[in-house]
Structures are given as structure tokens and as C-alpha cells.
Amino acid sequence: MTEILITGNQGQLGRAVERLAAKRGLSVSGSDLDSLDITNAFQVEQWIATHQPRTVINCAAFTAVDDCETKEDEAESINGTAVGYLAEACHGCGARLIHVSTDYVFDGTKTTPYVESDPTEPTSAYGRTKLAGERLAASVPDHVIVRTAWLYGLGGRNFVEAIRRQIDGGAKELKVVADQHGCPTFCDDLATALLDLAKVEAHGIIHAVNSGDTTWHGFASEVARILGSSIPIEAVTTQAFLRPAPRPAYSVLDTTRLQTLRGRPMPTWQDALARYLQS
Ligand SMILES: NC(=O)c1ccc[n+]([C@@H]2O[C@H](COP(=O)([O-])OP(=O)(O)OC[C@H]3O[C@@H](n4cnc5c(N)ncnc54)[C@H](OP(=O)(O)O)[C@@H]3O)[C@@H](O)[C@H]2O)c1
């Protein structure tokens, strides 16, 4: 029997979950689009029935936020409908589904951290499709929906690497948005939390991000500082840097529930970033 199955194991989070599960000595098996397309209900059912896992951690997703605006049907089938296939297959063999979701299910109009019970109101196609996935995950009793945010991890295409690339490429200055607030989160810390949640009696929605919050500008400034760069970083507004998909202005997540379940807080985002950049 495989204890943990992971979808999207070539993505930045899936890789971290697989590596850290193996390090804990768990029997783990992962797949990605080349071996299992989660939008294929038959493949999903066969894969889960064959492995008879205790837990399935769904890290697969259509994550290109701006592309979702023009490919909402494709995004919906991966981020929404396919989660229903995973949920049904898990239910069929008594496995727990841990499904990863996003802060983009919120509209960002709050000014204090979002708790799990706050009303959702996505403003982007990505957020709508991820919310559809949450609802399908919640259609079976043994589910956990873990909302996270602003992820970066080893081997991933992410904001930290984009800043590092520009610094290494000799950019003279950077312009970074300073009016969106969120929680940068290291995939290794999130993966550790997901594996801990697989062990405890927990159901429903749980917010999991590194502690503290900042803006993209604050995040970029900390990347530069740790890399020893004095590159000027100009603070710009969202309006000056318009993208196809709207982003929430404030999507800080409250992690009290996670902290209670695990008995310890998540590391701060600054500590996590330093560990990532040194690894
Ligand atoms: N990245 C963030 O900042 C962020 C923030 C909040 C929440 N999240 C959520 O966190 C989770 C992990 O994100 P991530 O950053 O690790 O994403 P990622 O690096 O883009 O990894 C997602 C993986 O899923 C694969 N995939 C796509 N369609 C698939 C399908 N039909 N069947 C099987 N696999 C498929 C992708 O393959 P291809 O690359 O070949 O498409 C990729 O390997 C997702 O649920 C995401 O929505 C991410």
C-alpha cells in the first residue's frame, strides 16, 4: 500500500511534498501530466484504486493566472472538474483528499487577515476555477482544503527566481508593485504542513502560509538584500503595471487554525526566504 499519492509532482510544490515525504520514510508515489492527466476520470480512478493510498495530496493545477482569463474552460477542467474526480476516487477507497487552493478565492477588500470562514468572492478566472475545485473537494466527507499564497520552491518558476534573474542579468533598477499585500510562502514549509495535516484528524478549510506579510515590493527588496544586491527597487502601483487578471489588493491569510492543529506556528516569510536562497 502507498501511504501518500501526489499529483503534480513535477511542479514546485509537488516536488517538495514528494521529497519531504520520502525523507520522513513514508511510502510515496507521485505523478504529473506525462503519466496521469487528472482531467481523465478513468485514469484517476484506476491510479487511486491501484495504490489504495491513505492520503492523496493534489498539487496539480493550471497555475498561469493571467492565461486563465482567456482559457477559463481549460483551467476549469483542471482546477475544478478534475478535483471532483479525485474526491470521488478517494471516497471510493477510504482515502483522505488534501487539496491545495489559493488566496485568490478572496476579493482582497478586507484589511485584516482572512480567516477560513470569510466569504469568498474571486475576481479572476483563476480564482473562480480554484473555488470550483474547493466545492468539489468538499463534496466528500474526508477532505482538507489548504489555501496558500505567493509560492516559491526549488526548481519552480516563481517571483523569487524572476527577481534573482534580473539582478544576475545586470538590471540597473527594478519596478515592483507595492500596493498588493500577501504572504510569501516557501514550498518546503507548506509541504511540511501538508504532511503534518495528513497525520492529524482535520477536515475542512485550513489556511497555510509563512508567518507575517508584505508587499511584492517588500518581498523583492528582501530577495535583493539577502543576495547582497543594492539594486534600486522602485515602488509602483498595480494601476501602473496592469496585468490581464486582477489580483486581490490584500490577501493575507490567518493561520491560527493550522497553528492549533500542529501546535506550532509557521516560520516567518523572511526566515523561509533566507533558507530558500541559501539552499
Ligand atoms: N504558485 C503560487 O504562487 C500559488 C499560490 C497559491 C496557491 N497555489 C496552488 O498551489 C498548488 C501548487 O502550485 P505550484 O506553484 O506548485 O504549481 P506548478 O509549479 O505550476 O505545478 C503544477 C503542476 O501540475 C501539473 N498539471 C497541470 N495540468 C495537469 C493535469 N491535467 N494533470 C496532471 N498534472 C497537471 C503541471 O504540469 P505542466 O507544468 O506540464 O502544466 C505542473 O507540473 C496549486 O494548486 C496552485 O493552485 C499556487
What pLDDT, on the 0 to 100 scale, is given for residue 1?
Answer: 76
Across the chain, mean pLDDT equals 97
What pLDDT, on the 0 to 100 scale, is given for residue 133?
Answer: 98
At 9-56, the pLDDT tens digits run 999 999 999 999 999 999 999 999 999 999 999 999 999 999 999 999
Give the residue numbers annotated as catalytic, written as ranges.
126
What is the three-class DSSP state of 8? coil
Q: Is the pLDDT of residue 191 over 90?
A: yes
At 114-152, the pLDDT tens digits run 999 999 999 999 999 999 999 999 999 999 999 999 999
Q: How far is the CA of 109 from the centre of ligand 1 (A)?
A: 26
pTM for the model stands at 0.98
**Atom of ligand 1 at shortest range from CA of 14:** 16
User: Which domains, ranges and CATH numbers included, belong to the chain?
Assistant: 4-156+185-212+253-267 (3.40.50.720)
At 68-126, the pLDDT tens digits run 999 999 999 999 999 999 999 999 999 999 999 999 999 999 999 999 999 999 999 99
Q: How far apart are CA 12 and CA 32, in angstroms?
A: 12
Q: How far apart are CA 116 and CA 192, in angstroms?
A: 20
Q: How far is the CA of 170 from the centre of ligand 1 (A)?
A: 30
